[in-house]
Chains A and B, each alone.
Chain A
Amino acid sequence: MLSRAQAADDSQSGADDFEAADIPADIPAVAGTSFKPEHAADIERDPGEVAWFEVHPENYMVAGGPRLAQLEALRADFPISLHGVGMSLGTGELPDAQHLQALRELVNRFQPGLVSEHLAWSSHDGLYLADLLPSALTRSMLDGVVNAIDKTQQTLGRQILIENPSSYIPRPDSWLPEIQFLNELAQRSGCGLLVDVNNVFVSAHNLKFNANDYIDAVPGEAVGEIHLAGHSVDNNDGDPILIDSHGATVSDEVWALYQRLISRIGPRPTLVEWDNDLPAWSELRAEAQRANQHIDQVIQVQREAS
């Protein structure tokens, strides 16, 4: 078994045709973070152990200007992941052709190591709602989402990963269990899965299912990336719910679930997400370092076992 540092080195030897730099596209199975422009200068000074970055492609669907230039500069030093929030694959309808084309251009330009989207929707009838909203997890929806992912993967010429949502409202019993839906989705469409461990924890609390059971049912071979984030508690008039706020450190329970997952399936590229109440770069960097410690521990255990 390779050490984490060796694994990162090995992935850097992969061939790649990104012309702005010799940094390969492949994302190693170590910690990365969200990229926020506010952190750009600090990252340049001291990225610490953070080996890759993730951005929302929608923020870069513009003709030119400083944002794209900043992403070019980042990509010259690090592999990146494009994590979409605007495709509405969870409608079960084919994605908007213009949006898909804009994503294709970004994929061609920035050569991301990973491209991901959500089992969710954020537009209705052309109206953008700026949130990841829940899909009806029916058989007929599964057929539709498989088609939508097919279309996306064909257009991009590559595999995408699909992320499990955070949920707040109980679902009808007639719907498929979410992890079964995602498992079948991966098998039928050939997409990979992005397991957001915080979303599993938040949804398990809100919808009253067992988070360990969900984590244990994740098909390891399909997992291409893991997300970690902080959540908040909303008292909700005596019916406390957890909110996927992306504005705090990762909770101990979520770290434990993460450890449980990677102990079984092995290390994966792991992103610490932080979108609101942005901390200093040093704090986000420390969270990434903590994820690497969990990865090191798993590698150590595997090494001793072999």
Chain B
Amino acid sequence: MSARPELAYRQQFTQALLARAADAHPANLAPHEARRFRVYRNNVHTALITALADAYPVIQRLVGEEFFAAMAREFFLLEHERESTLALYGADFADFIEQFTPAASLPYLADVARLERTRLEALHAADAAVIDASALPTDGEQLLNMTFEPHPALRLLSSAHPVVSIWLANQADEPQNIITASAEFALITRPRFVVNTLLLDQATGRFTRQLMQGHTLQQAYTNTSSIAGEFDIGVAFSQLLEAGAFTDAATYQEDTK
């Protein structure tokens, strides 16, 4: 015998919990005991499906409760998840959805899941005060030579699908809009305790990514406009400041690089 009996007991228990057959149970149980094992099985399956439904409410709304439960069950039965608490459960759910053949007819589903996951991560990210915009230099030249510290909750998500529009259309208090398929950038911020989800145009999205990589305003503008064409840097930068994207600013020192 390779394992201690206590470990073997736990292994058998776990295998039966994660078996696909609804009447699965550990060996060596009398029939009436085996029937009771489903209490544990139901508890585990319900808790994990509920945890995923709490983290991915729009996905559940898009595919329906029944399909969602089946997909969620498949996710944890394949042991994708190693998180030891439920607060951040389901990190790899989007990657799983991308490979989940029964959901292939909804090609945007995985990216909507990525957006929901990004929002959850932003919700639980570290707290930080956003930059005081009035303390920034009024001189344009000076401002263009500055870099900006991303807020710990700041996230940028780009998708080939209209993920923000889909997400917004599936909020209970939002009107249903007709969504025209196009690539979208999502900006996620949490300046205090509420997570914001903003749709950015392509140029502003690329510009934001440049700033998050540590480029100055000037560099970010130059790099972005060479690809995305001319855009209004003032409007784009104001949008980021208002959303609470940054915590600090510094003047770029060429000689330190």
Contact = CB atoms under 8 A, between A and B. Distances in A.
Interface of A: 58-69, 86, 91-92, 96, 98-99, 121, 123-131, 133-136, 138, 140-141, 144, 168-170, 206, 234, 236-237, 239, 241, 243
Contacts of A91: 10
A127 B79 contact: yes
A128 B82 contact: yes
Interface in B30-84: 32-33, 35-37, 39-40, 43-44, 47-48, 51, 79, 81-84
B86 A129 contact: no
Contacts of A64: 124-128, 152-153
Contacts of A130: 43-44, 47-48, 51, 86
B11 interface: yes
Interface of B: 4-6, 9-11, 13-14, 17-18, 29, 32-33, 35-37, 39-40, 43-44, 47-48, 51, 79, 81-89, 123-128, 152-153, 190, 193-194
A168 B39 contact: yes
B53 to A, nearest CB: 13
Given A127-B81, A128-B81, A131-B43, 13 more contacts: A63-B124, A64-B127, A64-B152, A124-B10, A124-B13, A124-B14, A127-B18, A128-B84, A133-B10, A138-B6, A168-B37, A170-B33, A236-B35
Given A168-B40, A234-B39, A243-B39, A136 B81 contact: no
Contacts of A168: 36-37, 39-40
25 contacts: A59-B87, A61-B87, A62-B124, A63-B124, A64-B124, A65-B123, A65-B124, A65-B193, A66-B193, A67-B124, A86-B84, A96-B84, A126-B84, A127-B82, A128-B84, A129-B14, A131-B40, A131-B47, A136-B5, A144-B6, A169-B33, A169-B37, A206-B36, A239-B32, A241-B39
Which label, helix, strand, loop or mixed, suits the secondary structure of the A interface? mixed
Contacts, number: 118
A130 B152 CA distance: 29
B110 to A, nearest CB: 23
B127 A62 contact: no
Contact of B190 (A65, A126, A138): A65
B40 A128 contact: no
Contacts of B43: 130-131
Contacts of B11: 124
Contacts of A62: 87-88, 124
Contact of B6 (A66, A92, A131): A92
Contacts of B40: 131, 133, 168
A60 to B, nearest CB: 8
Nearest to B48: A130
B5 A138 contact: yes
Contacts of B6: 92, 135-136, 138, 140-141, 144
A129 B44 contact: yes
A241 B36 contact: yes
A63 B32 contact: no
B84 A65 contact: no
A188 B110 CA distance: 51
B152 to A, nearest CB: 7
A63 B6 CA distance: 36
Contact of A58 (B10, B17, B18, B87): B87
B84 to A, nearest CB: 5
A133 B13 contact: yes
Nearest to A138: B6
B123 A86 contact: no
Nearest to B193: A66
B155 to A, nearest CB: 13
A49 B36 CA distance: 39
A133 B6 CA distance: 13
Contacts of A135: 6
B85 A58 contact: yes
A66 B11 CA distance: 38
8 A-B pairs closest in CB distance: A62-B124, A130-B47, A64-B127, A58-B85, A66-B193, A63-B126, A124-B14, A64-B126
Nearest to B33: A169
Contact of A128 (B10, B29, B85, B123): B85
